[in-house]
């Protein structure tokens, strides 16, 4: 049952990522959901050898007409930054929860926790506004052509991408928690969610290719799970690495090498 749920949630996970890519690329690549699903998996395959999956756009733009590939690459970067912002936000909130809880007083200091969580949220929102206005100022000031590749993403699209990124984060978190709960039955399903969020943040910061990502996952699982559950956490991390990264990457490799690039233009 756990394996069935993990594989089912793997499809949901990459389906949500495809939905994100569909929203971001709808004005540069007129393709069906199935074609864009292939593009996402191909991007996953290419990025397995590059640290922090920074080369996902290479595989994705292969499924885009040549005239729009640079712009599609910019949209892929935007999508990746939005997903990273969710990981950062959830990880910092988890750090607050873990800091406000200790063995002698396992109850959260609610007022302090809310204050810090609000501060983190407002800080990240302010940073997002600064980046947005800086981008507009730099583009108007210097007229660099390559900045145009990041244009065309409206606030409505940003909101939709952010919500889909959050949904995707919750999906692969649930995958981990299901496997972890099966290995440690005495644990409640969401008992270790703060540790999990902190672990995901630590994994995303380490610059390591996805093909070697299991090493970082293993180490981070041991750091955040505690000595009594480190084996279960490490095993769950390895399962997620296989199901969510390696299997889709193998499928993506096949799709990438057997796909004929699109030549026609879409205006």
pLDDT tens-digit profile of 50-62? Answer: 765 666 767 677 7
Please state the rounded mean pLDDT for residues 216-231.
65
Which tokens in the block code for residue 23? Answer: 């929203």
**What whole-number distance in Å separates Cα of residue 134 and Cα of residue 200?**
29
Classify residue 83: in a domain, yes or no.
Answer: yes
Classify residue 29: in a domain, yes or no.
Answer: yes
62-90 per-position pLDDT tens digit: 777 777 777 777 788 888 888 888 998 88
Q: Which residue has the higher pLDDT, 252 or 259?
A: 252
Domain that holds residue 82: 2-257
**Do residues 177 and 193 make contact, with C-beta atoms less than 8 angstroms apart?**
yes
The count of structural domains within the chain is: 1
What is the DSSP-derived secondary structure letter of residue 30? -
pLDDT-derived band at 246 (thresholds 50, 70, 90) equals: confident
Classify residue 72: in a domain, yes or no.
Answer: yes
91-145 per-position pLDDT tens digit: 888 888 877 765 555 555 666 777 777 888 888 888 877 877 776 667 666 666 6
**What whole-number distance in Å separates Cα of residue 161 and Cα of residue 174?**
20
**What whole-number distance in Å separates Cα of residue 54 and Cα of residue 26?**
22
Residue 267 pLDDT more than 50? no
Classify residue 266: in a domain, yes or no.
Answer: no
Classify residue 267: in a domain, yes or no.
Answer: no
**Do residues 49 and 63 make contact, with C-beta atoms less than 8 angstroms apart?**
no
Classify residue 235: in a domain, yes or no.
Answer: yes
Classify residue 264: in a domain, yes or no.
Answer: no
Classify residue 64: in a domain, yes or no.
Answer: yes
| pLDDT at site 171 | 94
Helical ranges in the chain per DSSP H: 2-25, 33-47, 56-61, 69-99, 110-142, 155-183, 193-205, 213-225, 230-240, 247-257
**What whole-number distance in Å separates Cα of residue 113 and Cα of residue 97?**
7
**Average pLDDT of the residues of the chain:** 77
User: Which of helix, strand or coil describes residue 171?
Assistant: helix
pTM over the 0.75 mark: yes
């Amino acid at each position: 049952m756990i394996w069935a749920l993990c594989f089912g949630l793997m499809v949901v996970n990459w389906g949500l990522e495809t939905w994100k890519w569909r929203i971001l690329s709808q004005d540069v690549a007129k393709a069906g959901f199935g074609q864009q699903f292939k593009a996402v998996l191909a991007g996953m395959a290419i990025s397995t050898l590059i640290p922090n999956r920074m080369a996902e756009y290479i595989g994705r733009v292969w499924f885009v007409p040549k005239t729009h590939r640079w712009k599609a690459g910019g949209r892929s970067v935007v999508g990746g930054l939005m997903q990273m912002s969710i990981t950062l936000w959830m990880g910092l909130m988890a750090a607050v929860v873990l800091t406000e809880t200790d063995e002698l007083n396992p109850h959260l200091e609610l007022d302090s926790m809310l204050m810090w969580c609000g501060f983190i949220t407002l800080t990240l929102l302010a940073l997002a506004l600064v980046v947005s206005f800086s981008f507009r100022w730099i583009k108007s000031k210097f007229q660099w052509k390559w900045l145009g590749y990041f244009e065309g993403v409206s606030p409505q699209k940003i909101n939709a991408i952010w919500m889909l990124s959050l949904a995707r984060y919750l999906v692969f978190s649930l995958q981990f928690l299901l496997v972890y709960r099966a290995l440690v039955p005495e644990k409640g399903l969401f008992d270790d969610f703060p540790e999990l969020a902190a672990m995901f943040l630590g994994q995303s910061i380490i610059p390591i290719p996805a093909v070697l990502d299991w090493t970082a996952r293993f180490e981070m699982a041991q750091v955040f799970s505690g000595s009594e559950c480190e084996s279960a956490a490490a095993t769950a991390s390895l399962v997620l690495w296989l199901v969510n990264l390696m299997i889709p990457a193998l499928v993506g490799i096949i799709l990438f090498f057997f796909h004929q690039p699109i030549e026609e233009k879409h205006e």
